Amino acid sequence: MTSTIRPRRSMLYMPGSNARALDKARTLPADALIFDLEDAVAPDAKVEARRQVAAALAAGGYGRREILVRVNGFATPWGYDDLVMAAASGAHGVLLPKVESADTVRQADNVLRTAGAPGDLAIWCMMETPRGMLHAEAIADARRVGGLVMGTSDLAKDLHAAHTRERLPMLTSLGLCLLAARAAGIAILDGVHLDLADDAGFAEACRQGAELGFDGKTLIHPKTIAAANMAFAPSEAEVAWSRRVIAAHAEASAAGKGVVLVDGKLIENLHVDNARRLVGLAEQIADMAKPAPTA
């Protein structure tokens, strides 16, 4: 499943057991929301959380935000029923935890199809174990997969790695998943930053993630949305340059020229493709800021 180009600068986890948070999410400027039935929910609250998430999605009101439901794993008592609920929930995708092979994706796909899920309901995969890193390509290429989400906290634990500002222990894993996602033509989101008091560290992680090529960052608190939105959005200068590249290439093509220079720089088709991507993303970000249409 090739992922559509859409703003995913900020993807905020929302605990499914917190009805007030699910309601508040309708007003937050995040590009995407993850309604979490897994890590954020205690075992004795799992069933009620599932009911609350289903009710919140049925009520709607989330506008243009992309909605994922993070389900529990198949080895738990709740995973199967979570998937069945998500199949008919109206969410854009389901997020599977700790995916380590394409077989896990195929199993989830079978459950979703049996439950009558629409064909465009995407499967997203949490990449958070060493084995998952080694199988990233097969996971990204599996049927229905629309995106990968880095689970850097669990990964650091399994690697016995330190959480450093530069994230050097993570770069191999981040790179493997980025390669797999881009080869498959799907989205990929960076992992969370756990220290909410470390604004400078969060800004650095966003800068690094954007430079590496991530589409956005997963978040655990609304106060971090604005910084992520800024870090992962194309700048005004980038958009202006992209528009010039597109216009110059179109003019050259109309004149039968195969080569065009913009400010002395040779422009090729690959530059034009990226320029169109950036302009399209900027236009969609502008649309996200508009009031959602009323029924």
pLDDT in tens, 177-214: 999 999 999 999 999 999 999 999 999 999 999 999 99
CA distance 197 to 16: 24
Q: What is the pLDDT of residue 295?
A: 47
Q: What is the pLDDT of residue 290?
A: 79
* Extents of the domains making up the chain: 10-231, 236-288
Which range is least confidently modeled, 2-11, 21-30, 110-119? 2-11
Query: Could you report the per-residue pLDDT of 67-100, keeping only the tens digit for each?
Result: 999 999 999 999 999 999 999 999 999 999 999 9
Q: What is the pLDDT of residue 263?
A: 84
CA distance 245 to 268: 9
- List beta partners, residue 167: none
For 10-231, CATH gives: 3.20.20.60
Mean pLDDT, the chain, rounded, equals 94
Angle at 63 between CA 60 and CA 68, to 5 degrees: 70
* Average of per-residue pLDDT across 118-128: 97
pLDDT at 292 exceeding the cut of 70? no
pTM score: 0.93
Owner of token pair 């079978």: 110
